[in-house]
Structure 1
């Protein structure tokens, strides 16, 4: 407003109306220019991607449906272009097409290979060039791909085999029509079929024919061998197209009614498999999704740098007379909706073209008007005053833009500073809450007890003292950091014996080195060396370097401190053979608050930054050399003499402040050991996952009196112990190195073997959104540090009691429908299904059940015991007994038939077993009245 008023005032200084006209014209001109420029501004460019899609063939309905699905999903991503090639069932042609696609500069390749083996080398070549590869429907004999998407062909074969066995009632003659034998779907479907038919020796595979996935090929093959294939009961083809082709041949021969035809694909549409089932041409088919939509979604995630599942198996269902009408209604509705969507899409496209045309017309009109105004006002701009005013306005606009840019820059800096401040406070909260927990929790625990044993009191006070010193060290580092920030950090150097000084510091770590069996040595040819240095600051530097070395050096490693005299410097090196640093961590080792891939550690994050600050105050230098997995070496260079020091930095040796060194807090008291009680007295097994040694030891000791406690320092080790032990409850910290507590909780709750285990999360973060994240991950309880030990124990007892009630609820009936998580129900449903399926097999037991469930015997025993409060054998016997009671009440079968059907080797053994469990013989039970 100020600029506009100034400009208007300058225009009004002239008395002539011509100047007024110039001002008005200029104002309108600027408005039109602004509208034109804003309208013509191009949108931000979006990167475009080229996806190559190579099909082995596109001639059949299933492949056409796949291409349609690909194109439909691609319509939601306008910046993606599809380059499509159809090989027509030719391996050599498809190989050359893939090479052509690569030469055309594709960003990602989707391929459905014609054959498995010939394409391994070709796809490996594409993969090595950095082009992501997605295998669709068919696999290759190589691991060089990013993702595989397709149905479970092995499972499809098994489903078909099961249907055939049920349809033929375990006896009959069948013909199997293969797809291309060298393709992975044909091989896996055949293998799955054979696995099932091996269980039915009365079902004979009369002939295996090669249909090569084509209807015409099947017609020729069946017609040529029809005389030998008339007396069959069922023909199974690897896809619906071949099954319908075979049906046509048999129909011409008048034999179609005596043979059942079964296929795979179950595509919707008037001439596809689902319609064939509806018309009775096919007895059954099995839905085999194309995966076209999933392929494009996966390609987009890969090209956007997001993670994807490497194996994406699409689900399938059996389609027969019992469900085909419902599925067909749904598919027809989906096809109608798809057609409507495409029609609406075309309409939107037409409207978009109309809008573009009208917009271009408007731009043309505006441009024409602008030109006319510029030509009409050209003479008016001859006035010098207007030129000056225009230049002044431009200058003011530039100043405004500069001010805007400056404001945005300052705003960005403020935002970054605010984020750093919040991150810093979060780090402080995490670092301070752990020692506070180890001070408050043992204190509250001791105060809550009526009587305390002397050793227990000593252990608690030792833990409190140790963590109080740790807090003191953190506070001291924070004060040093504050002094450095405000420039109040000053050097107070005096001449002292550096060798004796370093030897004393190394000597303080000897006990810790002995406990961890670490080779700690001071290696130097010097017996004495006078050097000007600040003892307090150099002490903190060396203490910090040695503490970090011990933290990252494994048991049995080495830490060597070397000192040697150079020309005009003294070199001190602290070397270890620990885990080392990555290149990124090494480059930022002395940056304040940097932690790299590891969770932030306040002592390390500030300690190294302060170490550099203190060494630079001495006019020295500190550097690091490190290789991941091999070790780390910190090198300090300090100048000799005192010519580099200012007069106010030199103090007499007697005035040096000699603060007492804080105890080495990593040295845990050997007496802090968890209580050991007989297993019979334990109320359950707990798994404690905590990276802080003291807190882990305290929790183990505190909970060990009532529970059996297993402790691990990392989530990875905790997950392995979870699968090994199947604990009754898990207590985990949230902030852990590698996998964190939230990720561990999600893995526990998602795995069928461990989904029933309650999880308690411990964290120093009190913000509500973090607690919500914990609950969303599946945690049963979220406790913040410092926590009350009694509250923790009561929480554990309550969760275990609720788990026991759940066991009783599940035990009341074999599979409860009113409680338990989805994973628990899924486990029990699958367990019960397998037992009932094998009920007539007298040899069926825990070994076979654990194999079919896909878990070990130990895991199966623990899982069933945890959910049903009974062992596996009792559960199998309960189901046998329940089935026997039903047969006795509802059928007239003999005792021998019932014994065989329920898996008993003889009627006598069945009678003995039944009487032991019901106090009645089977005959007495059948005659007795039904109990209310």
Structure 2
């Protein structure tokens, strides 16, 4: 009886034990939820959020914040009330937020509260507007002075140097208004024909009154696009909209915003003024994570006018579409992760339940069978969960790869744009800054600008065509043409280029004519891209053969060259968008090969690639042959076709090269773009001797030949890239002293960090300012000259192991010390032991110390002799022999010439 009661009591208490375990599980799950709370709190203080520009800033912050789940953002809007905003910032300080992002309403009034937050240890990121103090952590925003400056420069262009100007703005005390006003006045004061009439800071009604009383106004500069739109409506009401030109600021993409107003012709231009929302959150994240960040983060700004508004609008629309895709994918991933989390909790719960069943099974036999059945169910659930987990990981990987591909695509697009933009912006700035212009030189410069503008246009056209292909809107417009004359004409367009590069270009075809149905415009672009690609990778004196063949079922077009060829990896990715492989060049010349494959596919054909490294490349285009009667034409008419592609330009610069004149300083210029190479050489050779090459390998040969004073190199080069060349220069003691400037389209922060790591002295992104480049060159050469003068006044102490250039001098002096007793010690012997030529050693020592090698050896022996005279009991003769003099009397003569004292007088002095 006692045993039965015990048995029943154990069965009664078993459910209570289970409930206790369930309570523990719930506690653990709730603890996991609590641990998922936000780690960092960011307080955002806005002076106002009512306008579209501020809304765009907030949306940018929210988009960027989605990448940082550990961060939360609290925003407060002061609605233009300065005291209210100061109070809101104080609330953030009292609540001890981890970081503040502030857009001050006024500069001076906000300085004390910003300093207070900064002094209390809270990082402060200022956005758009500054205070009068430097006590803040970082600033993100465009340069309002530059915004006003660009507006003034463009006003001069619109008015052609003559006209009356009115300025309209809000809040004269705000830092943006002050900066824009100052920059605008600075620009227009340079032109005597521009008359600055007034600046209005009160209301729109005052603008209307002023225009009624001053009908002579030719241009209005409005400090934002909303004001610009109000001015346009006033001008329209007064009938002055055709006479008065309007320039706004912001460049947003919404209805009646800057881009829309420019595109509709309501205003003449708008100055792009980025909101900086994404950049502010990105900077905040770096600060909170204790990563390296920049205190000053100036945002890019430019003039948007009818010439570029469509491109800007299209790019913004494309970016927004991609952002929406990313957000949808992120939302889907979050849902899948939530599902996975739920299933995981079920797994935890089931596992604990299994444990309870195992414990309970010790009391009753039948529970063993129940436990076995439960185990089987759990295994099935676990398998299902694992399958779901694998599926989630697979989807997440695909989404990540898709995102990386899109980001890589836009990164390479930006790189492709930067070089032609450099050859447009830099020569344009040079023309604008000239006080006098040579007609011939100006024409050559304009030709260079025109040529690179056409390159940009072709790139944009290819992007639009790819977009049509992706959207399925590209249609084949086939007509019957003579394929023989069609291909022959395209090949003939390259004759001038072939002659200039000494390339054997041939068209081989056994037919005199071949009627064929195809889309001439698309096939023209296919052949043009492939033949252009062949010229790019075929060396001087090579061969390019184009062959046209036909059989019963198909037509084959072969383009073969004996150029550099491709390896297996490059062949596999040759038709990918902007694939670069291990080379720093685009195998498909950007979009060309990818677009060519799509066009061939539209013709129901195929394109094949055969290539071997060092032996050349061949492309075979196969098109299905269709007889004319299949097209329901009894008497097909062969329609002649004329290519509408711009004439093929030989790879030579449009700038005329002047004969190089010897200069005091030598610069080795390494740039594979012939136009940019020639432009930089023309601009720099007025002050320096320039040795220009197109590859890093040739550049290294020139560097060793000249031992120049400075090296100016691109990063994206065929073969060895600029980073590898810089590292090689800095690691070789013959060249480690030479300053290196990297000039490149890769302007991201991580690329600049990489350039600094390999030893670059300066890193200038394209497009660049020519005056800035020239000043940077002067600064580096000046620093090198000051260091040379400093070295010329001292001899390095070998015990002081110093980095950089002194390391070479330490090794050099140790070698002199080793051979100092040798009276036959010469420059030839030292250069041989150092593994350098005599000329290289002379140039290296001269560049570092401003002394020749013989004088340096003599000075070293003199210092050694002085030390022995003061610190030893050796005789004058012994000291003479120990310092490498065969004759003590000659030693005495040498010592007196250098010190105006005999050795004995120096020792006794």
Residues in 2 aligned to 1:627 and 1:776: alpha-carbon distance in whole angstroms? 35
Residues in 2 aligned to 1:459 and 1:794: alpha-carbon distance in whole angstroms? 25
- Residue 722 (structure 1) shift: 2.4
- Residue 396 (structure 1) shift: 7.3
| Change beyond 3 A, Cα 1:890–1:816 | closer
Given that 1:715 and 1:741 are in contact with CA atoms closer than 8 Å, whether structure 2 keeps it comes out as: yes
Residues in 1 aligned to 2:767 and 2:808: alpha-carbon distance in whole angstroms? 37
Structure 2: state its 5+ residue gaps: 1-10, 29-351
Q: 1:742 aligns with which of 701, 723, 742?
A: 723
Give 1:489-508 correspondences, 5 Å limit. Answer: 489-508=474-493
Residues 236-257 of structure 1 show CA distances to partners (whole Å, capped at 9, x for unaligned) of xxxxxxxxxxxxxxxxxxxxxx
RMSD of aligned residue pairs (Cα, Å):
4.1
Q: 1:438 aligns with which of 407, 419, 423?
A: 423
Are 1:520 and 2:505 counterparts?
Answer: yes
- Residue 799 (structure 1) shift: 0.3
Q: 1:379 aligns with which of 346, 366, 370?
A: 366
Given that 1:535 and 1:656 are in contact with CA atoms closer than 8 Å, whether structure 2 keeps it comes out as: no
| Change beyond 3 A, Cα 1:381–1:877 | closer
Given that 1:25 and 1:377 are in contact with CA atoms closer than 8 Å, whether structure 2 keeps it comes out as: no
Deviates more, 1:697-706 or 1:590-599: 590-599
Aligned twin of 2:644: 660
Given that 1:806 and 1:867 are in contact with CA atoms closer than 8 Å, whether structure 2 keeps it comes out as: yes
Residues in 1 aligned to 2:857 and 2:680: alpha-carbon distance in whole angstroms? 39
| Change beyond 3 A, Cα 1:838–1:403 | closer
Are 1:806 and 2:806 counterparts?
Answer: no
Residues 697-722 of structure 1 show CA distances to partners (whole Å, capped at 9, x for unaligned) of 22222212211122232323323332
Given that 1:595 and 1:605 are in contact with CA atoms closer than 8 Å, whether structure 2 keeps it comes out as: no
Aligned twin of 1:77: none
SS state at 1:822 partner: coil
SS state at 1:571 partner: strand
Aligned twin of 1:778: 759
- Residue 536 (structure 1) shift: 0.5
Residues 846-872 of structure 1 show CA distances to partners (whole Å, capped at 9, x for unaligned) of 111122323221221111001101100
Residues 347-374 of structure 1 show CA distances to partners (whole Å, capped at 9, x for unaligned) of xxxxxxxxxxxxxxxxxx9999975644
Aligned twin of 1:15: none
Aligned twin of 1:486: 471
Residues in 2 aligned to 1:658 and 1:893: alpha-carbon distance in whole angstroms? 95
Given that 1:518 and 1:558 are in contact with CA atoms closer than 8 Å, whether structure 2 keeps it comes out as: yes
Are 1:717 and 2:698 counterparts?
Answer: yes
Q: 1:531 aligns with which of 498, 505, 516?
A: 516
Aligned twin of 1:583: 568
Aligned twin of 1:874: 855
Q: 1:672 aligns with which of 655, 669, 678?
A: 655
Given that 1:598 and 1:737 are in contact with CA atoms closer than 8 Å, whether structure 2 keeps it comes out as: yes
- Residue 632 (structure 1) shift: 1.4
SS state at 1:432 partner: helix
| Change beyond 3 A, Cα 1:548–1:928 | closer
Aligned twin of 2:744: 763
If you compute each CA radius of gyration, which structure gives the higher value, 1 or 2? 1
- Residue 629 (structure 1) shift: 1.4
Given that 1:431 and 1:602 are in contact with CA atoms closer than 8 Å, whether structure 2 keeps it comes out as: no
Q: 1:457 aligns with which of 420, 427, 442?
A: 442
Aligned twin of 1:727: 708
Give 1:300-339 correspondences, 5 Å limit. Answer: none
Residues in 2 aligned to 1:660 and 1:821: alpha-carbon distance in whole angstroms? 63
Residues in 2 aligned to 1:645 and 1:840: alpha-carbon distance in whole angstroms? 97
Given that 2:497 and 2:651 are in contact with CA atoms closer than 8 Å, whether structure 1 keeps it comes out as: yes
Given that 2:579 and 2:588 are in contact with CA atoms closer than 8 Å, whether structure 1 keeps it comes out as: no
Residues 493-533 of structure 1 show CA distances to partners (whole Å, capped at 9, x for unaligned) of 00011111111111110000000110111111111111001
Q: 2:838 aligns with which of 849, 853, 857?
A: 857
Given that 2:481 and 2:639 are in contact with CA atoms closer than 8 Å, whether structure 1 keeps it comes out as: no
- Residue 398 (structure 1) shift: 6.5
| Change beyond 3 A, Cα 1:673–1:872 | farther
SS state at 2:611 partner: strand
Aligned twin of 1:910: 891
Residues in 2 aligned to 1:570 and 1:779: alpha-carbon distance in whole angstroms? 53
SS state at 2:667 partner: strand
Are 1:468 and 2:449 counterparts?
Answer: no
Given that 1:495 and 1:531 are in contact with CA atoms closer than 8 Å, whether structure 2 keeps it comes out as: yes
SS state at 2:805 partner: helix
Residues in 2 aligned to 1:691 and 1:930: alpha-carbon distance in whole angstroms? 65
Given that 2:419 and 2:767 are in contact with CA atoms closer than 8 Å, whether structure 1 keeps it comes out as: yes
Aligned twin of 1:40: none
Residues in 2 aligned to 1:475 and 1:644: alpha-carbon distance in whole angstroms? 39
Q: 1:621 aligns with which of 600, 606, 617?
A: 606
Q: 1:640 aligns with which of 608, 625, 628?
A: 625
Aligned twin of 2:208: none
Count how many residue pairs are aligned between Structure 1 and Structure 2.
574
Given that 1:22 and 1:381 are in contact with CA atoms closer than 8 Å, whether structure 2 keeps it comes out as: no
Residues in 2 aligned to 1:690 and 1:563: alpha-carbon distance in whole angstroms? 37
Residues in 2 aligned to 1:643 and 1:654: alpha-carbon distance in whole angstroms? 10
Aligned twin of 1:101: none
SS state at 2:591 partner: helix
Aligned twin of 1:412: 397
- Residue 843 (structure 1) shift: 1.0
Deviates more, 1:638-647 or 1:510-519: 638-647
Are 1:607 and 2:592 counterparts?
Answer: yes
| Change beyond 3 A, Cα 1:634–1:894 | same
Given that 1:469 and 1:665 are in contact with CA atoms closer than 8 Å, whether structure 2 keeps it comes out as: no
SS state at 1:844 partner: coil
SS state at 2:672 partner: coil
SS state at 2:840 partner: helix
Question: When the two structures are superposed, what TM-score results if normalisation uses the length of structure 2?
Answer: 0.57
Residues in 2 aligned to 1:635 and 1:627: alpha-carbon distance in whole angstroms? 15
Aligned twin of 1:316: none
- Residue 407 (structure 1) shift: 3.4
Residues in 1 aligned to 2:668 and 2:679: alpha-carbon distance in whole angstroms? 14
Are 1:696 and 2:677 counterparts?
Answer: yes
Given that 2:797 and 2:810 are in contact with CA atoms closer than 8 Å, whether structure 1 keeps it comes out as: no
| Change beyond 3 A, Cα 1:818–1:839 | closer
Aligned twin of 2:56: none
Residues in 2 aligned to 1:557 and 1:594: alpha-carbon distance in whole angstroms? 25
SS state at 1:554 partner: coil
Question: When the two structures are superposed, what TM-score results if normalisation uses the length of structure 1?
Answer: 0.56
Residues in 2 aligned to 1:482 and 1:372: alpha-carbon distance in whole angstroms? 65
SS state at 2:648 partner: coil
Residues 897-921 of structure 1 show CA distances to partners (whole Å, capped at 9, x for unaligned) of 4443332333443344445444x4x
SS state at 2:735 partner: coil
Structure 1: state its 5+ residue gaps: 1-17, 36-364
| Change beyond 3 A, Cα 1:891–1:580 | closer
Residues in 1 aligned to 2:672 and 2:434: alpha-carbon distance in whole angstroms? 28
